[in-house]
Structure 1
Amino acid sequence: MSSVPTSSPPLHRLLAQCADAVQAVRDGHSLTDWLSRCPAELRPGAQALSFTVLRRLGAAQAVRAKLAPKNPPPRVDALLVTAIALLWPGETAYAEHTLVDQTVHAVRQRAANSAGFVNAVLRRFLRERDALVAQVEADPVARYNHPRWWQERLSADWPAQWQGLLDANQQRPPMTLRVNPAHGDAAAYLARLAEAGIAARPAGDLFPQALVLDEPRPVQALPGFDAGHASVQDASAQLAAPLLLGQRRPQDLAPGEDWAVLGAGARVLDACAAPGGKTAHLQELGGNALDLLALDADAKRLERVSQNLGRLSLEGSVRAADARDTAAWWDGRPFDAILLDAPCSASGIVRRHPDVRWLRRPGDIPSLAKIQAELLDALWPLLKPGGRLLYATCSVFKAEGQDQIDAFLQRHGDARSREFTRGAGHLLPLADNAAQEDAPRGAPAVTDGFYYALLQKSPSSAPL
C-alpha cells in the first residue's frame, strides 16, 4: 500500500507529476534531482507515488507493451505506465475507478485526443489483470523489476542470494535514527520517542546508537531533532565511524585482531564527505575533538556537510576538492585515519533510491571501479605509518567491494586488511544479516547493502 498525505492535492495533479518523474528517470535523470524541482505542495505525494511506480516499472512497461504495442507519445505513455503500476495487485492506494478516472483527467490536460485510448487500455488491464500479470512475469525484467544485466551481475556475485536481493529491493526501507551520545544514550532517546507517541526499537547490538521507527515520521516530529539530539542514518552507514576510530566491541574482532582507539587530536580525513552523515558521526564518537577535514568534489553538496555539523554543534574543516588531486588540497601533514566512502553504483540502497536500477548502465560499474582504485591509490600515501583507511561503498557488487580491495592489496605491499567476525566485508540488505529479534514479522532488513574494508598501513612503511 502506497502512503500518501491525508491532505493531498487533487490526484490528477499528483499523477501528472509522478508521470513526469518517471519519464525523467527513463530519460536518464535522477529522481532526487527531479523531485527537488517539484512544487513543494506536490512533492510528498509525487515522491510516494513515483517510488511505487519505479519499483514496478519493469512489469508496468511490459503490460503496456502488450496492451498497446505501438508506443504512445512519451508523456501519454508515462501516465499509462504510472497508472498500470499503481493498479498492480497489492499496490492500489485508491479505488480503481478513481485512479482510472483521474489518470484520464490528467491525460485530457496534456493530450486530449489520447484520453479515450488511455481509458480503454486501463479498463482492459483491470478486466484482464490476473492473466496479464502472469504473462509478463515470465519475463525476468518484469518479474524482478531490474534490468537483465543487473540480475546477471548479482547472480554471478551472489548465486545463493541474488533473488532475495532483488526481492528485498522492492521493500520500503525502515527509517533509522542515530542518537547523539552528547545528549544521552539510545535507551533514553527511545523513552523520549515513546513519550512523543513514536514507536521504535533498537536496531541490534551491532548498532548501539541506532533506533528503527515502526513508521517513518517527519524529522520535525522527532524530539530534539533541531537541537541535534538525533540524526537520520541507515544502520549500515552507522558502522563506518566506529570501524575507523577503533570503537567496535572486542567480540566483533577476528581472533588475534586488536588496535588502538583514536583519541582527541587525531588527524582524520573524510575524503568523499557529502552529505555529511558519516562526517558528523566521526565527531560525535570523537567527542568533537578530532582534527577533522571533510572533503568533497561537489561544492554544492558540501553545504549539507556544514549544515549537518552545525545542527549537531560539531567542528570540522570543510573543503571542496577532488580527493584524487592531492597536490591541490593536501598540506603535507599525514593523516592518522582516512574514511573513503567512494562513489559507487548505489546498488546496495535501491530500496531507498528505486530509480538507481533504471539509471545505471553495465559500463558504469568498471568506470566507477576505476575511480575507486584511483582514490585508493591517491590517498594511501597520505596515511601515517601504522595509520588506517576505511574503504566503504553502498554497493553489493563485488567489483566495487572485495574484488577492489583484493586488487589494492596486490598493488600495495605495505597494506593489510583487518578482520572482523561481523559488521565488515559485504553487508547484504537481507533480514538475516542483522539482529532482528524485536522486529515485527515480515519487517524489512534493518540494514542497507554496504561494503567495508579496514586497511592498516605497516608501521615500518616509509613516509612521504
Structure 2
Amino acid sequence: MTRSAPIRRQAQKAGAAPFRTLRLAPDSLGFALDCAALAVGAVRAGMALPAALARVQASAPAAAIARGAIQDIAYRALRRLGTADWLLAQLVRKAPPPHVGDMLACALVLLADDAQTAVYTPFTVVDQAVTAIGARRESAFAKGLVNAVLRAFLREREVWLDKAQTDAVAAWNYPLWWIEAVQQAWPDAWQRVLAAGNQPGPLTLRVNTRRTTVAEYLHLLDANGIAATAIGIHAVRLAAPLPVDRIPGFAQGVVSVQDAGAQLAAERLAARDGMRVLDACAAPGGKTGHVLELADVELVALESDAARASRIGENLSRLGLAATVTVGDAGAPAAWYDARPFDRILADVPCSASGIVRRHPDVRWLRRASDIAALVAQQRRILDALWPLLAPGGEMLYVTCSIFPEEGEQQARWFERAHEDAVRLDAPGQLLPTAAGAAAECSAPFSTGTHAATPERAGADLDHDGFFYARFQKR
C-alpha cells in the first residue's frame, strides 16, 4: 500500500483562490462547487470546516442561497478526500494551482458517487466545474485541464475506483497514521470502525422529559408526517435529517439535537435534586441542558472560551433552564472556584474528537499523530485539578469523544493509579461509532475493562458516535 500525497498546504500558498464568490447564478452547481472548493482549501490550510463554511458565506450574501448545496459538497469532499487526492495524483502530471485542485477534488467526489445516490449527472458536474473555473478567469489551460481530468476519470471510472482501493489512504479516507492507530487499537474491528466514521451521522434528538415523553413526542412527529424511532431512554432518531426550524417543538425547548452516545453523559452522571454539579468544558451546553432536564441541581457550567460560553446561555434559554455560566480553565480552578465542593463533576475534556468524524470529517485531516500525547497531558492536568473539588462520596464522570485508548481506558487506569481515594464504578467504557442497522454488531465487543457496562447497558442498540466513559467515586 502506498501513501497518498499530503493534503495540508500553507494558507497563503501562491495561487490560492481568495475568499470571494463569483458572478455565477447562486443556485447553480458551479457556484456551489466553487464555494465548496474554497472551504476545502481552507481546511487544508488548517481551518475547521464550520469556520471555513462561515467564512465562505460571509464573503457574499449570495452564498446564503446555496448554503445547503455548498455544505453538502464540502462534507462529501472531506469524507472522500483521500480518494480524490489519489485520483488527482494519477490523472495529472503536475499538481495544479491550489484552487483548481480543490475544485477537481470536489468534482471527482461527486463523479465517484454511485449512480443510485448521485445528486448530479456526470455531464452537469463536468460542465459546471469548467464554468466555475472560467468564471474565476483562470487560464484557458486551467479550464482545459479541469475538462480533461474529469472526462478521463469518467472514461475509466470503475477502473480508477478499483485501483484506488490499493492505496490505504485512498481506500479508507483517513491519514495513514490514523488508520494504523485504529488497526492497533481495534485489530478485530478496525474496518468497521473506519467505515462507520465515513457514514453521515443521523439526526438524533434528545426529548426534554420536563416537557413531554418519548412516546408522546413520537406521536407528535407521526402527526406531522415525520418518521422517527426511539433509540434510547431520551433519544429519538429521525429517519431523514431536517432543519431545526422544521422540527416540532425545537424552538420551544421540547427537544434538542444531541447524539445518542452523548446523551449517556447526563444519564450516567445521575445527579439528584439538590446536588451541586460542575459541568467542566461545558460548551455548547448540550450536556448541561440534559443534566438540568433530569434533576433540580445547582449547576456551574464552566468553559474556557468566552465566545463558546455564550452559546451555553443561548441553549439554556431555549430550554427555559438556568445555570451559572463561568469562563475559566478547568485545569486552573484557583481563578474561578469558590471553595464549595461539588457532588458531581462532569469532565467532558478536550480530546482528539476521533469519535465524531462522521459528523466532522475535517477532524481526520486536521489532526496529527503528535496531537494525541499533548491532549493526554491536557486531560490529566484537568482531571488532577478537578478531583480536589469533589466532595467525599461524590462522583466524577470522565468523558471523551475519542476512539483512541490513550484518551480512554489507558487514561482511566492512570487516574486510578494516581488517586488512591478514587474508586472506579461501572460506566459504559468505550463506545465505538456505529451505523444504523449495525449498532449491535459493532458495539458488543467494545466495552473495555472490568468496570465497563454490558453492551445492553452501554447502548448497543443505539446509532451513536464514538465515546469513552469512566466513573469514579471519592472515598
Instruction: Choose the corresponding residue for 1:412, options 385, 398, 419.
Output: 419
The answer on 1:274 being equivalent to 2:283 is yes
What's the CA shift for 1:201?
Answer: 0.7
What SS does the corresponding residue of 2:372 show, helix, strand or coil? helix
Q: Is the 8 A contact 1:429 1:445 kept in 2?
A: no
Residues 207-231 of structure 1 deviation map (CA, whole Å, 9 limit, x = unaligned): 2111100000111112221111111
Mapped to 1, the partners of 2:371 and 2:73 lie a distance apart of 28
Mapping of 1:385-404 within 5 angstroms?
Answer: 385-404=392-411
TM-score scaled to structure 1, two decimals? 0.88
What SS does the corresponding residue of 1:197 show, helix, strand or coil? coil
Tell me the residue number matched to 2:388. Answer: 381
Q: Is the 8 A contact 1:141 1:147 kept in 2?
A: yes
Residues 285-317 of structure 1 deviation map (CA, whole Å, 9 limit, x = unaligned): 01xx21100000011011110011000000100
Mapped to 1, the partners of 2:27 and 2:85 lie a distance apart of 26
The answer on 1:132 being equivalent to 2:160 is yes
Mapped to 2, the partners of 1:402 and 1:103 lie a distance apart of 47
Q: Is the 8 A contact 2:331 2:382 kept in 1?
A: yes
The answer on 1:450 being equivalent to 2:467 is yes
The answer on 1:61 being equivalent to 2:85 is yes
Mapped to 1, the partners of 2:210 and 2:386 lie a distance apart of 31
The answer on 1:243 being equivalent to 2:234 is no
What SS does the corresponding residue of 2:426 show, helix, strand or coil? coil
Tell me the residue number matched to 2:119. Answer: 93
Mapped to 2, the partners of 1:335 and 1:329 lie a distance apart of 14
Q: Is the 8 A contact 1:268 1:292 kept in 2?
A: yes
Instruction: Choose the corresponding residue for 2:218, options 157, 178, 190.
Output: 190
Specify the code of the residue in structure 1 equivalent to 2:285: G
Mapped to 1, the partners of 2:159 and 2:260 lie a distance apart of 40
What SS does the corresponding residue of 1:418 show, helix, strand or coil? strand
Q: Is the 8 A contact 1:434 1:446 kept in 2?
A: no
What's the CA shift for 1:185?
Answer: 0.5
What's the CA shift for 1:163?
Answer: 0.8
Q: Is the 8 A contact 2:39 2:56 kept in 1?
A: no
Mapped to 1, the partners of 2:205 and 2:333 lie a distance apart of 34
Tell me the residue number matched to 2:372. Answer: 365
Identity of aligned residues (%): 48
Tell me the residue number matched to 2:235. Answer: 210
What SS does the corresponding residue of 2:242 show, helix, strand or coil? coil
The answer on 1:231 being equivalent to 2:259 is no
1:319 and 1:353, CA in 2 relative to 1: closer, same or farther beyond 3 A? same
Q: Is the 8 A contact 2:205 2:237 kept in 1?
A: yes
1:227 and 1:435, CA in 2 relative to 1: closer, same or farther beyond 3 A? farther
Mapped to 1, the partners of 2:420 and 2:71 lie a distance apart of 48
Residues 201-256 of structure 1 deviation map (CA, whole Å, 9 limit, x = unaligned): 111xxx211110000011111222111111110000100011111xxxxxxxxxxx
Q: Is the 8 A contact 1:427 1:433 kept in 2?
A: no
Tell me the residue number matched to 1:108. Answer: 134
Specify the code of the residue in structure 2 equivalent to 1:326: P
The answer on 1:30 being equivalent to 2:57 is no
Tell me the residue number matched to 1:51. Answer: 75
Instruction: Choose the corresponding residue for 1:429, options 415, 421, 433.
Output: 433
TM-score scaled to structure 2, two decimals? 0.86
Mapped to 1, the partners of 2:431 and 2:54 lie a distance apart of 30
Mapping of 1:102-181 within 5 angstroms?
Answer: 102-110=128-136, 111-113=138-140, 114-181=142-209
1:70 and 1:117, CA in 2 relative to 1: closer, same or farther beyond 3 A? same
Q: Is the 8 A contact 1:8 1:45 kept in 2?
A: no
What SS does the corresponding residue of 2:237 show, helix, strand or coil? strand
Tell me the residue number matched to 2:10. Answer: none
Q: Gaps (5+ residues) in structure 1?
A: 1-6, 246-261, 437-443, 459-464
Q: Is the 8 A contact 2:298 2:323 kept in 1?
A: yes
1:445 and 1:95, CA in 2 relative to 1: closer, same or farther beyond 3 A? farther
Instruction: Choose the corresponding residue for 1:300, options 302, 307, 311.
Output: 307
- In angstroms, what is the RMSD of aligned CA positions? 1.6
What SS does the corresponding residue of 1:282 show, helix, strand or coil? helix
Residues 175-216 of structure 1 deviation map (CA, whole Å, 9 limit, x = unaligned): 10111111110000000000111100111xxx2111100000
Residues 304-363 of structure 1 deviation map (CA, whole Å, 9 limit, x = unaligned): 100110000001000111111111000011100100101011111110001111110000
Q: Is the 8 A contact 1:59 1:143 kept in 2?
A: yes
Specify the code of the residue in structure 2 equivalent to 1:398: P
Residues 264-284 of structure 1 deviation map (CA, whole Å, 9 limit, x = unaligned): 221100010000000000000
Q: Is the 8 A contact 2:423 2:472 kept in 1?
A: yes
Instruction: Choose the corresponding residue for 1:222, options 227, 235, 247.
Output: 247
Tell me the residue number matched to 1:252. Answer: none
Specify the code of the residue in structure 1 equivalent to 2:257: V
Q: Is the 8 A contact 2:260 2:462 kept in 1?
A: no
Aligned residue pairs: how many?
421
Q: Is the 8 A contact 1:434 1:447 kept in 2?
A: no
1:109 and 1:121, CA in 2 relative to 1: closer, same or farther beyond 3 A? same
What SS does the corresponding residue of 1:340 show, helix, strand or coil? strand
Specify the code of the residue in structure 2 equivalent to 1:240: A
What's the CA shift for 1:434?
Answer: 5.0
What's the CA shift for 1:41?
Answer: 2.2
The answer on 1:284 being equivalent to 2:311 is no
Instruction: Choose the corresponding residue for 2:353, options 328, 346, 356.
Output: 346
Q: Is the 8 A contact 1:60 1:142 kept in 2?
A: yes
Mapped to 2, the partners of 1:89 and 1:238 lie a distance apart of 33
